[in-house]
Amino acid sequence: MSPILYSFRRCPYAMRARLAIAISGQEVRLREIVLKHKPAELLAISPNKTIPVLQINEQAVLDESLEIMVWALSQHDPKQWINDSLQEMLLLIDNNDYEFKSWLDKYKYADRFPEYEQAYYRDQAEDFLMELESRLHKQTYLFADHITLADMAIFPFIRQFASVDKAWFEQSPYLRVQQWLMELVNDELFINCMKKYPTWLESGEDILFP
């Protein structure tokens, strides 16, 4: 029986988990959920109650998106997303997940954080964009001239950042980041992983993915 993946299409954490599963060719039973109506089956197996969650079997459950990515690639990594730079990649991803994401949330929902103007939160987030821009001046992608784990773990969040104020992002000095993001968003892998499916609670059917 294939593992079960609980996912939410628009969540950047769920996006990156689906991307790794898809590139690895590991078949899972996709259960698309609505965050406000999480199924009891999910809540019963996930201490964090967050998305994504991968139930490999009755004993093994992964409820961190990066863990799911590494698990999938450990099964099969045809495009060499993991290489000798893994530890450095994980540090950059950690920076994305715990520092940049915090500023991104404040930037996106600035009305909920009235202590500062929206532009202040964007300024703080720019430190991470500068780091990515610097890396992309050295090679096509963050750690090589081909896509790696870091690119696919990080770009869903940069996509979210860019969508807050598209006009500002498009005129910003981060030209390499813009090009990198455009290539990844238009990649067939991402387009396929963003396909809409009926929610599991509505359909009651598991969808084989990819």
CATH number of the domain to which 62 belongs: 3.40.30.10
Q: 156-159 long-range CB contacts below 8 Å, 24 or more apart?
A: 156/12, 156/13, 156/15, 156/16, 157/12, 157/96, 157/100, 157/101, 157/104, 158/129, 158/132, 159/12, 159/185
Residue 157 in this model has a pLDDT that exceeds 90: yes
Whole-model pTM: value is 0.94
Domain count, the chain: 2
Quick: pLDDT tens for 119-152.
999 999 999 999 999 999 999 999 999 999 999 9
Residue of 203 and 188 predicted with greater confidence: 188
Residues 57 and 73 in one domain: yes
pLDDT of residue 174: 98
Residues 176 and 195 in one domain: no
* Domain ranges, residue 148: 86-187
pLDDT of residue 40: 87
Residue 206 in this model has a pLDDT that exceeds 90: no
Nearest to 159 by CA among 127, 182, 126: 182
Residues 154 and 196 in one domain: no
Average pLDDT over residues 160-169: 97
